[in-house]
Amino acid sequence: MIILMHDNASGNDVEGVIIRAKELGLKPVPLYGEDQIMVVVTGEIDKIDPEHLESLPGVLQITRITSPFKFASRATKPEDTIVEVRGVKIGGAYVALIAGPCAVETEEQTMMTAEIVKKAGCRILRGGAFKPRTTPYSFQGLGEAGLKILSAAGDRYDMPVVTEVLDPRDVELVSQYTDIFQIGTRNMQNFRLLEEVGKMRKPVMLKRGLAGTIKEWLLAAEYILSNGNQDVILCERGIRTYEDMTRNTLDISAIPVVQELSHLPIIVDPSHATGKPNCIPSMVKAGIAAGANGIMVDVHPNPSAALCDGPQALLPDPFNKMMKEAQVIIKAIGKKVG
């Protein structure tokens, strides 16, 4: 349920609602909007009489949320969420341009890629230090050493960074170096991990599970949001279908579907979706034209030597060309680079 507070409700009033809801065995999360404060309450609300909360000081109105997405739903928050990280905006009219290596391999490779990415107009640097590999015999990432390199590259080129966290035990460590946590496709339903990043106060990019429905994806986002972290960015990265000419199938229609259901920003990752450098520019442009709030792509100065996902990495030249075209489309549809 949503407890909408009066315009003139005090901090003590909000605290009073939170305390009472907890006494009733419920889970309250306050949301501070631009001109209103609400407390979203989840738990066994059917068992309580709303009177217990309605009569508290500062409470204006109580409404039940019928959507399964209590926090992610547009019914709870009609306006688009704009996630802001170190001055970069993602959501609403702001389109995030994110690129970098699939994996941080060496300082030289990461710095070189960061420079290319920055010069092309990207504002966020990606790079994996903990890599979720299909086989345990592949390169698993540099771990903390990789986080250090990525964070140094972000500082040198003045870009916030996004990197994957694979394990709840690493959330604290990754948080020391990253600006945005990435939850990979294989972990979309790792609920303990979602809860842990939900307790952090840094944005989370939640990739769609490779066999996840949109409903399951938004419910996964609820695990983060209901733990208090409202800065969730969804990332459509392709789903597994019977088609094997591409690595996955990029579900462009997920963009308008998600945007109707939810206020959360949604970006697309055509690198992991198609696995094919020749397809990536078209899918980047299609994603932006379809209303995506951002794109994320893998870039490598020497893909044939890459330790992870080399065959899908864009070379600097096609990447630069693609970025120019992407910016034309962003402008043409009345949006801005975030």
* Binding site residues, ligand PEP, CB under 6 A: 102, 128, 132, 164, 184-185, 207, 237, 272
**Calpha distance 270→285 (Å, rounded):** 10
User: For Mn ion, which residue of 45, 102, 147, 297 counts as binding (CB under 5 A)?
Assistant: 102
Query: How would DSSP label each residue in 122-183?
Result: --EEE-BSS---SSTTS----THHHHHHHHHHHHHTT--EEEE---GGGHHHHHTT-SEEEE
Name the residue with the smallest CB distance to ligand PEP.
184
CB 304 to ligand PEP: min, Å: 18
Name which of 275 and 281 has its Cβ closer to ligand PEP.
275
**Calpha distance 7→4 (Å, rounded):** 9
Name which of 17 and 124 has its Cβ closer to ligand PEP.
124
CA atoms within 13 A of residue 235's CA, in its CB half-sphere: 31
Does 313 engage in binding with Mn ion (CB under 5 A)?
A: no
Contacts 24+ apart (CB under 8 A), 193-196: 193/165, 193/166, 193/167, 193/168, 194/220, 194/223, 194/224, 194/227, 195/168, 195/223, 195/224, 195/227, 196/168, 196/171
CB 128 to ligand PEP: min, Å: 5
Beta-sheet pairing, 232-236 with 266-268: parallel
CB 51 to ligand PEP: min, Å: 46
Does 164 engage in binding with Mn ion (CB under 5 A)?
A: no
**Calpha distance 92→83 (Å, rounded):** 9
- Non-local (6+) Cβ contacts of 25 within 8 A are 43, 44
Contacted by 214, from ligand PEP, Mn ion, none: CB < 5 to 8 Å by type: none
**Calpha distance 290→284 (Å, rounded):** 10
Helix (H, G, I), strand (E, B) or coil at 103: strand
Name which of 33 and 311 has its Cβ closer to Mn ion.
311
Q: How many CB atoms lie within 10 A of CB 23?
A: 9
Q: Residue 107 carries which side chain, given as an amino acid letter?
A: E
Binding mask 55-74 for Mn ion (x = CB under 5 A): --------------------
Name which of 178 and 185 has its Cβ closer to ligand PEP.
185
Name which of 198 and 212 has its Cβ closer to Mn ion.
212
CB 132 to ligand PEP: min, Å: 6
Distances 210 to 134, 186, 191, 217 between C-alpha atoms, Å: 13, 7, 16, 10
CB 144 to Mn ion: min, Å: 20
Residues contacting Mn ion: total by CB under 5 A: 2
Q: Which stretch binds Mn ion (CB under 5 A): 25-33, 70-78, 100-108, 213-221?
A: 100-108
CB 142 to ligand PEP: min, Å: 14
Q: Which stretch binds Mn ion (CB under 5 A): 13-21, 209-217, 278-286, 309-317?
A: 309-317
Contacted by 184, from Mn ion, ligand PEP, none: CB < 5 to 8 Å by type: ligand PEP
Name which of 102 and 200 has its Cβ closer to Mn ion.
102
Name which of 85 and 102 has its Cβ closer to Mn ion.
102
CB 309 to Mn ion: min, Å: 4
CB 295 to ligand PEP: min, Å: 12
Beta-sheet pairing, 2-5 with 37-42: antiparallel
**Calpha distance 275→270 (Å, rounded):** 8
Does 40 engage in binding with Mn ion (CB under 5 A)?
A: no
Name which of 222 and 309 has its Cβ closer to Mn ion.
309
Q: Which residue ranges make up the site for Mn ion (CB under 5 A)? A: 102, 309
